A and B are shown apart, each in its own frame.
Chain A
Amino acid sequence: MAKLFERRVTPADSLLDVAATTTLAFLLALLITSFLFISDGNNPLQAYFALFHEPFATLRGFGNALVRASPLALIGLGTIVSWRSGLAYLGFEGCFVIGAAAASWLALLTSPGQALGPLPFFVFLPLVILFSFAAGGAWAGAVGVIRARLGGNEVLISLMSNYVGIFFLQYLVSGPLRAPGSLPETVQLPQRTWLPFILPGTRAHAGVLLALLAAAIVWVLLKKMPLGYELIVTGFNPSAARYAGIDVVGKLTLAAFFAGGLGALAGMVEVLGSQHRLMDGISGGVGFVGIIVALLARLNPIAVIPTALLYGGMSVGADAMQRRANIPSSITFILQSLAVLLVLTTDVLRYYRFRPSALWGDKPLTAGEGTNR
């Protein structure tokens, strides 16, 4: 029987095929979202111009796009490490908050008269990176241990841990770390602890470089190192990994630790580079958008960088769009998530050949159906 979709003998998974289906999905998402603009009486072309002009055609906006992109990229990298190791960790909101809290606490300790006293930046920076990474790593590592040793469901446990982390942050900024005043936030962190700005005339900071460095490290880890190979084998087939002598429990715990550490660095970059103080609601959903970025980049540590820049830029543009055209910025959530859902859908085209001719009754050209599992 002629079928509309005929299974391909080998899935089309060359770089070109993957890029083509992803682009197709993104264009479809733009097309669907433009109906939302039309229904609201806006010209979609003008709306998209507003969405992309500010972040990608103005220096100031581009700097802001870089600022928004760096935590997204770091969370995306955390997603890649854990998901490729077979651990569907979703607790990046929590890791982000823990990293932000750890970095702020350490930075506040270096204010004059506090326990550590003023530290030179080149001493403080490695210290704060290690401390945040370890704090987030321990936070997520606990979930890894629960999954690997006790068989608990990491999807739900990590989702729940987000809320615990967010309440912990609320406690910190309304209790022990609260600044005098009405808002739940800390005092401004000492200026000595801020990440330096790297592009004159913009707010882009050294966190961008940290994200790029992390992408390179994750790429080397997964592609070039035996440890990364063992992580990926664990992700593909834990039984085979165990049979090959890989310590699966240890690998899952390690993957969770790395993921949590990267998620915490995102929080650190946000407080030290952009906000310069710890406050309630600092994460604002970035933990989930970061996962979406990683998915759209198909869990590839290099592709995460441009994808994060695109999504970070879109969130900058959405604010501009709301200011100028009075279009709710939440419409970008729709655009951003539709893109991933459509990527999942267009993936069908890589496994199946679309045969519109089946509609008018032609026979399929190949007889390979069903033999190529």
Chain B
Amino acid sequence: MTRSQLMNSAFFVTWLAASVRLAGPVLLAALGETFAERSGVLNVGIEGTILLGALTSFLVSLFTGMTWLALFTATGVGILTSIFLAWMYVTVKASQVVAGLVFNVLALGIASTVYRRTLGDSAIPESIAMFHPIHIRFLSDLPLIGPVLFGQTVLVYLTLALVMMAQFALFRTHFGLSLRASGENPAAADSAGISVTRVRYAGVLISGGAAGMAGAYIVLAQVGVFRESIVSGQGFIALAIVIFGRWNPVKAAGAALVFGACDALQLSLQIVGTHIPSQFLLALPYIVTILAISGLFGTKAVQPAALMSPYIKD
């Protein structure tokens, strides 16, 4: 193997491993969002929910040093805040885009106020307890797939397990059927005895829990610190991944990998050193997302028929 080939294979291994790692949070958020949208609610508020989850996990990990507790608390906070969102979407029947978008500003205000009040103007702590990559003997030493698939944190495997569970829950359970019925034809679902309100609340709460977990993922496995700009549109990218993945958890996993690959390419190319301005590479995931959901390629995505329309019982 020549030196340049070695460089290339090392480059690809780093790139692929980073793709898997970076795809995690958006995939988690997209999985939850799939449930909300399948039930007929476009939850734009996950961007803010991810931020609140990130803050919660940061604070819990900082003060207790327990990563799992941080993960679960963040998920819990995501679910709790989503009760308010679900109330706005389903009970008040407010415009879903407006309520979600304004909630994001509210979450930004809450997160930065709580952060400043808790830690004051003191210097940012050096490190918090984080999830570390698990080294599995033999498997992690395999060429190429070793570092890509087996040198990851436990959260990657948790996410993959949740993809399978989500796929099963949506298409193989009674709950999944009720959810999809409420999103396609709420009136019919209602007359079949399904409580559309309850099902939609469930969809929004699931998306909130997943978003809170995604925030914890960013803090506990990627960044290790909290900043107000930590989410930087990953919640919005998750919304795009849901469309890109045609409201299907397994396809969403593929879409999230494509996004992760763009994001990781930017990191890898910066390390290698290119003449392309770094800002162009940073913008790449967003440009790819815009192109992917623009309708330029392939037919228009078929969304749940009742998406974004509140159900008003006659």
B3 interface residue, CB < 8 Å from A?
no
B188 interface residue, CB < 8 Å from A?
no
Report Cα–Cα, A88/B44, bound state, in Å.
Answer: 13
Interfacial chain A residues near B44, Cβ < 8 Å:
155
Task: Supply 14 further A-B pairs (C-beta < 8 A) apart from A155-B97, A164-B290, A347-B94.
Answer: A88-B97, A150-B294, A151-B295, A152-B295, A156-B240, A164-B286, A167-B280, A171-B277, A285-B105, A328-B113, A334-B110, A336-B105, A337-B106, A341-B94
B289 interface residue, CB < 8 Å from A?
yes
Interfacial chain A residues near B95, Cβ < 8 Å:
344
B109 interface residue, CB < 8 Å from A?
yes
B92 interface residue, CB < 8 Å from A?
yes
Assuming the contacts A328-B113, A333-B112, asked whether A168 and B105 have C-beta atoms less than 8 A apart, the reply is no
A41 to chain B, nearest CB (A): 11
B5 interface residue, CB < 8 Å from A?
no
Q: How many chain B residues have a CB neighbour from A under 8 Å?
A: 44
**A292–B293 touching, CB < 8 Å:** no
Interface residues of B in 206-256 (CB under 8 A from A): 232-233, 236-237, 239-240, 243
Assuming the contacts A150-B296, A292-B105, A331-B113, asked whether A345 and B94 have C-beta atoms less than 8 A apart, the reply is yes
Mark interface residues in B270-302 (1 if CB within 8 Å of A CB, else 0): 000000010110110011011001111000100
**B92–A159 touching, CB < 8 Å:** no
**A345–B92 touching, CB < 8 Å:** yes
A348 interface residue, CB < 8 Å from B?
yes
Interfacial chain A residues near B289, Cβ < 8 Å:
156, 160
**A288–B295 touching, CB < 8 Å:** no
Interfacial chain A residues near B160, Cβ < 8 Å:
none
**B106–A338 touching, CB < 8 Å:** yes
**B277–A160 touching, CB < 8 Å:** no
Interfacial chain B residues near A292, Cβ < 8 Å:
102, 105
Contact of B239 among A40, A156, A334 (CB under 8 A): A156
B137 interface residue, CB < 8 Å from A?
no
A163 interface residue, CB < 8 Å from B?
yes
Assuming the contacts A40-B117, A159-B233, asked whether A171 and B279 have C-beta atoms less than 8 A apart, the reply is yes
Report Cα–Cα, A152/B280, bound state, in Å.
Answer: 23
A215 interface residue, CB < 8 Å from B?
no
Interface residues of B in 294-314 (CB under 8 A from A): 294-296, 300, 314
B99 interface residue, CB < 8 Å from A?
yes
A90 interface residue, CB < 8 Å from B?
yes
Chain A residues with a Cβ under 8 A of chain B: 36, 40, 88, 90, 146, 150-153, 155-157, 159-164, 167-168, 170-171, 174-175, 285, 288-289, 291-292, 295, 328, 330-338, 340-341, 344-345, 347-348, 370, 373
Assuming the contacts A167-B279, A168-B283, asked whether A160 and B236 have C-beta atoms less than 8 A apart, the reply is yes
Assuming the contacts A156-B293, A288-B101, A345-B94, asked whether A333 and B279 have C-beta atoms less than 8 A apart, the reply is no
Report Cα–Cα, A335/B108, bound state, in Å.
Answer: 12
**B88–A341 touching, CB < 8 Å:** yes
**A334–B106 touching, CB < 8 Å:** yes
**B98–A295 touching, CB < 8 Å:** yes
B103 interface residue, CB < 8 Å from A?
yes
Interfacial chain B residues near A328, Cβ < 8 Å:
112-113, 116-117
Assuming the contacts A333-B105, A337-B105, asked whether A152 and B113 have C-beta atoms less than 8 A apart, the reply is no
A287 to chain B, nearest CB (A): 11
Interfacial chain B residues near A338, Cβ < 8 Å:
106
Interfacial chain A residues near B42, Cβ < 8 Å:
155
A49 to chain B, nearest CB (A): 20
Interfacial chain B residues near A156, Cβ < 8 Å:
236, 239-240, 243, 289, 293
**A348–B92 touching, CB < 8 Å:** yes
Interfacial chain A residues near B300, Cβ < 8 Å:
150-151
**B282: nearest residue on chain A (CB-CB)?**
A167
**15 intermolecular pairs with C-beta atoms under 8 Å apart:** A153-B243, A156-B236, A156-B243, A160-B287, A163-B283, A170-B282, A171-B280, A292-B105, A295-B102, A330-B116, A335-B109, A336-B109, A337-B109, A344-B99, A345-B94
**B101–A344 touching, CB < 8 Å:** no
Report Cα–Cα, A373/B243, bound state, in Å.
Answer: 33
